[in-house]
Amino acid sequence: VGSGGGGRGGPGREVRAGAETPGGRPSAEAVREGTWKRRSLVPQRSQRGAPTRGEEVPPGRRQEEEREQDRGAERTDPPCVLSGGKGRGNRPRREAPGGEGVSQVPAAAPLPGFHERKVFSRRFRRLAPSGPSPRGFGAGAVPAQLRGYASRDAWGCSRGPAAGDGRLRLARLALVLLGWVSSSSPTSSASSFSSSAPFLASAASAQPPLPDQCPALCECSEAARTVKCVNRNLTEVPTDLPLYVRNLFLTGNQLAVLPAGAFARRPPLAELAALNLSGSRLDEVRAGAFEHLPSLRQLDLSHNPLAYLSPFAFSGSNASISAPSPLVELILNHIVPPDDKRQNRSFEGMVAAALVAGRALQGLHLLELASNHFLYLPRDVLAQLPSLRYLDLSNNSLVSLTYVSFRNLTHLESLHLEDNALKVLHNGTLAELQGLPHVRVFLDNNPWVCDCHMADMVTWLKQTEVVQGKDRLTCAFPEKMRNRVLLELNSADLDCDPILPPSLQTSYVFLGIVLALIGAIFLLVLYLNRKGIKKWMHNIRDACRDHMEGYHYRYEINADPRLTNLSSNSDV
């Protein structure tokens, strides 16, 4: 034991041979074996719970206390309240074994216990290497600012060890990213961009055209989902229609023919719901023209001279396997072709065949057939339209509805028969109309003939409520009943006198005048040729007389028995 105060072996030290280094510090072997001991010369500190003079201090405890003193010198902010480990909370620090009792720590600023100091020391040793090292940015060294930041995050206010460890990792990641950015050069980035430019250009050129582009000569509105190609003299349906189109207008063009699959696209026009082809001079609509339009609800083919309407135009090219059409509204107003294009075919039959083929229009709610000069409606033309609610047959030339059945149209709400040539409605038609629960019938502007056949209809009109505006219905024939309101007639007013309508009377008068003129001309010709006719008649009379005399002479010869033996060849 040394007795001096400043040499190697001075007071407070026990030295063993080889236990100290030339600088006066203990060697690593002595510290590891625990043969070097020191009596602390530091005065007692009651607040930190330090060991008193003459007490042995472990080397690990001494290094930890020195680091805590360094941290206290570097950190000037007040201590934070710690959350401890796994649910331990804040508690006063206990004295190390062998100390002088328990130190009293103020409740407002508790200090970490022994366990927390161990955790912190382990975390801190990850940042700073053990042993003395220069305070700088050398290899293996951590600056004091970063040590204080890491220690405060590890011990941070109201943060546990897990949160501090995450902040520490974020700080490390930030340093790594800054170093990588500073080490990268502009030339390398430029070279990488130049190398990737050909690939980007090839990828851009390989991309297909955008499906939402607007066709040429058309106007598009993506917000309204509408495409208008109006009065553009188009000869076919555009192939580059955008996929968002919901309302398509192709009016006023020169389409002429609508082939099968005219609207077929890949991908299909799945949202197209309203299609207007009116006034496009369509002459022919072929089978399957409206296939591949799964959402088509409204179709307008008005004002097109349709010389040919395929029976499978609405049902698909193969009606036996195709699904029913999604059409809800079909408008076929003014589609009658000129007389030179009808090709001796019944236009009414052609339209009826397209309506009933394959039961494709079972879901149809609205059908307009106005202004088509229909003289009659084919039998059972409405039999395959059970869902029909609105039927417009106005402005045609219908004379009678005898062969038309409305019995299965149980959902029919509106039937327009204005501006036709109806003379009377018979009992069968009246009973069918009365059996429809929701129907409203419009019969204005028809030339009603008020004779004895009108009695049942007048009685029905007085009782029913299905006819709208029935007080406006008036008689057109006979002349004495003209403009009489049908509801005001009684049985005495309705008789069947053979009085022809004025139109027929006028026709017969004109025919008599023509025949009289022809007779007068014939008589004039006979008078002018009276002499020739007289001579011709005399000639005919003489010829007939000679012929009769010859017959009489032969009879006399054959009757005389004396002349029987004469030869028939002899000349008498």
Coarse DSSP helix, strand, coil percentages of the chain, rounded to the nearest 5 percent: 35, 10, 55
- Residue from 198, 355, 218, 334 nearest 279 by CA: 334
Closest CA to 83 of 176, 33, 170, 154: 154
pLDDT score at 496: 80
pLDDT of residue 128: 41
Pairing of strands 308-309, 298-300: unpaired
What is the maximum span of the chain, computed from C-alpha positions, in angstroms? 217
Q: Which amino acid is at 8?
A: R
pLDDT for res 345: 75
* Cβ–Cβ < 8 Å for 158, 149: no
Measured in whole angstroms, how far is the alpha carbon of residue 248 from the centre of its chain?
Answer: 12
Of residues 197, 213, 195, the one with CA closest to residue 205: 197
Looking at the chain, the number of H-run helices and the number of E-run strands are: 11, 18
**DSSP bridge pairs for 38:** 13
DSSP readout, 401-441? -TT---TT-TT--EEE--SS------HHHHHHHHH-SS-EE
Question: Exposed/middle/buried for 182, CB within 10 Å: 0-12, 13-18, 19+?
Answer: exposed
pLDDT of residue 559: 73
Q: List, in sequence order, every beta strand (DSSP E) within 159-246.
A: 219-221, 226-228
- Cβ partners under 8 Å of residue 179, min gap 6: none
Cα dihedral sign, 176-178-179-181 = positive
What's the pLDDT score for residue 266? 87
Model pLDDT, residue 60: 58
Distance CA(32)–CA(45), nearest Å, equals: 28
Distance of CA 345 to the CA centre of its chain: 39
The whole-number pLDDT of residue 284 equals: 94
Judge if pTM exceeds 0.85: no
548/406 Cα distance (integer angstroms): 77
The pLDDT of residue 210 is 46
Is there a contact between 338 and 347 (Cβ–Cβ < 8 Å)? no
With CA atoms as reference, report the closest residue to 474 among 449, 453, 455: 449
CB 91 within 8 A of CB 62: no
Question: For the chain, which residues score pLDDT lower than 50?
Answer: 1-20, 35-55, 74-162, 184-210, 572
Q: Which residues of 366-384 are buried (b: 16+ CB within 10 A; e: fewer)?
A: bbbbbbbebebbbeebbeb
Tokens standing for residue 326? 């999604």
Q: What Å distances lie between residue 345 and 258, 309, 350, 357, CA to CA?
A: 20, 12, 8, 18
Identify the bridge partners of residue 39 per DSSP, sorted by sequence position: 56
Give phi and psi for 284, each to the nearest 5.
-150, 130
Integer Cα distance of 293 and 343 in angstroms: 31
The answer to whether the bond into 478 is cis (omega within 30° of 0) is yes
